[in-house]
């Protein structure tokens, strides 16, 4: 049995959905297909939630109608589907969008993250509904499975943690491949908590969902279909001489995704390592290309690999009374960041100051307020963190030369440079 994951960019148009159909028509194995939200739908839904919290319900409803139109146009453009099937599908899309409009009208729970889960999950519910109907009516018999029926999480609605044992138990009866069904379609990114409320696993979390499903069902492999030829040595939009990395070890892939390479969601590798399941990253547009092969036996060649993380903030914490015992203060501050689900990308310390580089965002500002209770906190925002593996002095100069460096940390193989302003060149 295989697991395929398709990202939002691969299914952002009728042509994309057809291409997905072509790819899975060539697969004779039993298959579970995990899809992200189509195109930029998740960003739009985040805007719906933000407008709702600014009490601008009209704007929320307007964006939701735009999302409905986008999916209906996509359905219009799908070939080989009869008009009645298309009409039925458009009706399903409308019902899903209406349920979020109703939520916005009726909701009494004003927790931002809770509402995020209920609203932003719509993207994957829509894309999976469209993809399943297309596959089922033109490619092969398929069944739509709601990921919320098995991905079980805690209640951190925007970045929920998965309970593997509970998820595994629920999965036992879900993908049973009965009655000649050899293809299931399900959503990435979403799950549900113990009360049955919808939760989200964090941005770009569909890769992680696919890895969990592959691991807990004991799949033979996971393939992530992407809009690039495989894992590249750098983001080709920023570094035109980026090269394909034909193979990577799990360790390399985990490290590169942590550093911010456009590989896959950070948490993807761990569930695969546990069961030794190979991961293939392949080109959605040119399926003949060999892509990148990731497993325990492979390794990264010695070529330079560059990863960047934009929108970073460096938080510097100083004790109010000079009383730093570094270990205690560090642990207390880290616990605060952990509570706000902030990922720390770099740490630097001096006897009287701890500096932490994290993603900037809503939670970051809330965490800063809490850090200020016991310390003096300063921060620098709009930063960029560049990591170069197998660096040379020339590469450091080339990518950071004329920009102000706030921090530079290096060991024998890797250099990490925190730079002012988001723009690379």
Binding site for ligand ASP (CB under 6 A): 7-8, 36-37, 42, 123, 188-189, 203-206
Q: Which does 205 bind (CB under 5 to 8 A by kind): Mg ion, ligand ASP, none?
A: ligand ASP
Q: Which does 123 bind (CB under 5 to 8 A by kind): ligand ASP, Mg ion, none?
A: ligand ASP
Nearer to ligand ASP, 188 or 230 (CB): 188
Nearer to ligand ASP, 121 or 215 (CB): 121
Rule CB under 5 A: is residue 12 a binding residue for Mg ion?
Answer: no
Q: Which of 8, 14, 16, 123 binds Mg ion (CB under 5 A)?
A: 8
Minimum CB separation of residue 12 from ligand ASP in Å reads 11
Nearer to ligand ASP, 201 or 406 (CB): 201
* Whole-angstrom distance, CA of residue 238 vs CA of residue 242: 9
Binding segment for Mg ion (CB under 5 A), chosen from 16-24, 36-44, 240-248, 414-422, is 36-44
Q: Which does 189 bind (CB under 5 to 8 A by kind): ligand ASP, Mg ion, none?
A: ligand ASP
Q: Which does 203 bind (CB under 5 to 8 A by kind): Mg ion, ligand ASP, none?
A: ligand ASP
Q: Enter the tokens of residue 397.
A: 């100069």
Q: Which does 233 bind (CB under 5 to 8 A by kind): ligand ASP, Mg ion, none?
A: none
Q: Which does 355 bind (CB under 5 to 8 A by kind): ligand ASP, Mg ion, none?
A: none
Minimum CB separation of residue 108 from ligand ASP in Å reads 27
Q: Which does 142 bind (CB under 5 to 8 A by kind): Mg ion, ligand ASP, none?
A: none
Q: Which of 10, 36, 153, 221 binds Mg ion (CB under 5 A)?
A: 36
Segment 138 to 197, residues that bind Mg ion, using CB under 5 A: none
* Whole-angstrom distance, CA of residue 203 vs CA of residue 252: 22
Name the residue number minimizing CB distance to ligand ASP.
206
Nearer to Mg ion, 209 or 387 (CB): 209
Minimum CB separation of residue 347 from Mg ion in Å reads 29
* Whole-angstrom distance, CA of residue 138 vs CA of residue 248: 36
Contacting residues toward Mg ion, per CB under 5 A: 8, 36
């Amino acid at each position: 049995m295989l697991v395929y994951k398709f990202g939002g960019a691969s299914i952002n148009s009728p042509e994309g959905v057809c291409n997905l159909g072509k790819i899975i028509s060539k697969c004779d194995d039993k298959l579970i297909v995990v899809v992200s939200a189509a195109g930029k739908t998740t960003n739009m839904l985040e805007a719906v939630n933000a407008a709702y919290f600014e009490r601008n319900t009209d704007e929320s409803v307007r964006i939701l109608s735009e999302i409905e139109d986008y999916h209906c146009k996509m359905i219009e453009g799908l070939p080989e589907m009869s008009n009645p099937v298309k009409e039925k599908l458009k009706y399903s899309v409308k019902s899903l969008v209406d349920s979020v409009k109703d939520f916005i009208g009726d909701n009494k729970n004003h927790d931002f993250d809770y509402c995020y889960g209920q609203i932003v999950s719509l993207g994957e519910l829509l894309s999976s509904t469209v993809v399943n109907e297309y596959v089922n009516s033109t490619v092969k018999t398929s069944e739509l499975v709601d990921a919320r029926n098995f991905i079980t999480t805690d209640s951190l609605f925007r970045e929920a943690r998965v309970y593997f044992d509970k998820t595994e138990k629920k999965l036992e009866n879900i993908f049973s491949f009965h009655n000649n069904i050899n293809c299931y379609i399900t959503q990435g990114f979403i799950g549900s908590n113990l009360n049955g409320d919808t939760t989200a696993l964090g941005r770009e979390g569909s890769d992680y969902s696919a890895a969990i499903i592959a691991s807990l069902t004991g799949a033979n492999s996971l393939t992530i279909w992407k809009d690039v030829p495989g894992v590249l040595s750098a983001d080709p939009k920023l570094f035109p001489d980026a090269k394909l990395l034909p193979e990577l070890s799990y360790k390399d892939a985990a490290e590169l995704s942590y550093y911010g390479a456009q590989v896959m969601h950070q948490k993807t590798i761990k569930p695969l390592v546990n069961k030794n399941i190979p991961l293939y990253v392949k080109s959605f547009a040119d399926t003949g290309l060999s892509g990148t092969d990731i497993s325990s036996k492979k390794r990264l060649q010695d070529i330079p690999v560059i990863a960047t993380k934009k929108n970073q903030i460096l938080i510097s914490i100083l004790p109010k009374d000079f009383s730093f015992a570094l270990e205690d203060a560090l642990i207390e501050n880290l616990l605060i960041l952990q509570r706000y689900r902030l990922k720390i990308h770099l740490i630097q310390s001096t006897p009287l100051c701890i500096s932490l580089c994290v993603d900037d965002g809503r939670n970051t500002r809330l965490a800063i307020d809490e850090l200020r209770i016991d310390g003096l906190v300063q921060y620098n925002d709009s930063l960029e963190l560049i990591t170069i593996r197998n660096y040379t002095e020339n590469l450091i100069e080339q990518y950071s030369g004329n920009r102000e460096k706030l921090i530079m940390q290096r060991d024998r193989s890797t250099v990490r440079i925190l730079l002012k302003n988001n723009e690379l060149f």
